[in-house]
Chain A
Amino acid sequence: MAAFGAARCLFRSYSRVKNVDQNTGILVRCSRRMLCSAPSDSSSPDAHVKPQFLDAEVQDILTRITGLNLEKVFRPIKQELKPPKYKLMTDAQLEEAIQSAREQAQRLLKMPPVLPERKPINDVLSEDKILEGMDTAKYVFTDITFNIPHRERFIVIREPTGTLRKASWEERDRILQVYFPKEGRRLTAPPVFKEENLKVVFGQDRHEDMLDLCQVQFEPDSSEYIRVHAATYEDLEKMGKYDLLRSTRHFGGLVWYLVNARRVDGLVIDMLQKDLLQDAVSLVGLFNKVHPHSETAQEASSQQASGLDLLKIYAKRESQRAGYVELALQAYEQTSAESSV
């Protein structure tokens, strides 16, 4: 019966969010280039290499925690109403179709990159005092050569004072949207992204839509993007509504934010309540990797702990609500003992 449900999902359209693959491809390429250009930490002899969001191990853990709920990934999205298509298949073909659906879901769940905030551009190319007072408006010159990546394009502004300077990041985003429009992006940010309006949207439990809109509108290293994401994650953590993002592509970002802020308590308890013990264990493992100097990590490495012991150490050392975590662990052990007996 579950297979029929999944098969029914298959025959709706696959495109969950338009252009998500191209966006993430371009963004991952940009982020790779930027990460390469930043000074590498491994040059200093004593510092441990801090795990970055895009490391293979970290991504592995985050994908496992995100889960793969086919029903939720392929749930109907607002799109053109087409009559459903029915196909007659053998069992083997159905298996293949489910497999390809799984791969498609994994591609749709690809996490958008988490990048540090971009530094402002303050480059002045030339100062020509003789041109002062020529015009009351600025001239914006864009290079529309086709084959250059948008990050390397020349967008220069000639001010009425005669200075020729490079455009700032916000101006760049706006001008690039004029000449190379991206689908769904608007020239000025919609007023949803203001603080008061964000609160209204969170009250309606539409965090995922908010994050998708933010993904489309802003670049991943802009201050607006980081601010909106931080506000969303804070609200989710306050309300404890982690389930809204589970099995979507934003869950990894949420986990990374919480781990970096060392506030993993709520999430661990939520996982234990839902009987996702493996996820809780990998979460604590990730926490230890990112903060290897914390007490939890040091004790865990000294005892070579794994599985439930990791959780116990975490409950003892780091968590604020230790009692709750231990209770949940005891309950789990009891149920597993009963089921085995």
Chain B
Amino acid sequence: MVHLSSFLLKTYHGGHIVIRLAMAGHKQSNRPFYRIVAAYNKRARDSKYIEQLGSYDPLPNIYNEKLVSINSDRIKYWMGCGAHPTKPVAKLLGLAGFFPLHPMTVTETERHRALAELAEEAAPEDGVKQQEL
């Protein structure tokens, strides 16, 4: 597929730009924190990026909220320069209402619901069996 960014960007780099989640190196295990970042595709996930466009905290806080910040102005600029968002970023932006809803979000919700129903059917059976025993 044609990578428009190669033609639209001022300096020719040979690769294209993506908007993706990069882990902010807080050096704490089991505590992830992501930055929404515009970077060259071939760079390592956490290494030098072009610009930070927001943040995403996957662990909920005391009010049960997951905080996501989005710099809509700059995301529009980079999309205009031909940057590609990755799947997780596209899902987040779809949930935010910035993009239309990602189809995988819907599919994942359905799968999640099916699993939850299976677990519910399994749990009452276990409960009944224990009572019988």
> Which residues of chain B are near A158, meaning CB under 8 Å?
95-96
Stretch at the interface among B9-17, B38-46, B63-71, B124-132: B63-71
Give a binary string over B53-74; 1 marks a CB under 8 Å from any A CB, 0 the rest.
Answer: 0100000100011111111111
Contact between A133 and B71, CB atoms less than 8 A apart: no
- How many A residues are at the interface, by size bracket? 20 to 34
Q: A144-B54, A158-B96 are in contact. Are A134 and B72 (CB under 8 A)?
A: no
Using a CB-CB cutoff of 8 Å, which residues 73-110 of chain B contact chain A? Answer: 73-74, 92, 95-98, 101, 105-106, 108-109
Task: Please tell me if A126 contacts chain B, counting CB pairs below 8 Å.
Answer: yes
A138 shortest CB reach to chain B, Å: 5
> For residue A137, which residue of chain B has the nearest CB?
B60
Most chain A Cβ neighbours within 10 Å, of B60, B95, B108, B116: B95
The reply to whether B67 and A175 contact each other, CB–CB distance below 8 Å, is yes
Residues 109-166 of A contacting B (Cβ, < 8 Å): 125-126, 128, 130-134, 136-147, 154, 156-158, 164
User: How many contacts A-B (CB < 8 Å)?
Assistant: 76
How far apart are the CA atoms of A128 and B105 in the complex, in Å? 12
Give A147 to B106 CA distance when docked, in angstroms: 34
User: Would B96 and A139 count as touching, CB distance under 8 A?
Assistant: yes
Q: Contacts A140-B65, A141-B96, A158-B96 given: A132-B72 contact, CB under 8 Å?
A: no
Bound together, the chains give a CA A158 to CA B91 distance in angstroms of: 13
A75 CA to B70 CA in the complex, in Å?
45
For residue A178, CB closer than 8 A to chain B, the reply is yes
A131-B67 contact in complex given A126-B97, A143-B72, A158-B95, C-beta closer than 8 Å: no
Q: What are 24 A-B residue pairs whose CB atoms fall within 8 Å in the complex?
A: A128-B101, A130-B106, A130-B109, A131-B95, A131-B105, A133-B116, A134-B112, A137-B60, A139-B66, A139-B68, A139-B96, A141-B96, A143-B72, A144-B70, A144-B71, A145-B71, A145-B72, A145-B74, A146-B73, A154-B72, A156-B96, A157-B65, A158-B95, A164-B97
A179 on interface, CB distance cutoff 8 Å? yes
Most B CB contacts (10 A, CB to CB) among A131, A134, A139, A141 go to: A141
Q: Is B69's CB under 8 angstroms from A142's CB?
A: yes
User: Are A140 and B67 neighbours in the complex by a CB distance under 8 Å?
Assistant: yes
Question: Taking the complex as formed, is B3 at the interface, i.e. its CB lies under 8 A from any CB of chain A?
Answer: no
* Residues from chain A with Cβ under 8 Å of B105 in the complex: 131, 134
Asked whether any CB of chain A lies closer than 8 Å to the CB of B48, the reply is no
Nearest 7 A/B pairs, CB to CB: A137-B60, A141-B96, A134-B109, A145-B73, A144-B69, A140-B65, A142-B69
Contact of B109 with A132 in the complex, beta carbons under 8 Å: yes
B106 touches A131 (CB 8 A): yes
**Chain A residues within 8 Å of B101, by CB:** 128, 131
Chain A residue contacts of B70, Cβ below 8 A? 141-144
Question: In the bound complex, how far is the Cα of B98 from the Cα of A125, in angstroms?
Answer: 12
Complex: chain A residue closest to B68, CB-CB:
A141
Residues from chain B with a CB closer than 8 A to the CB of A146 are 73
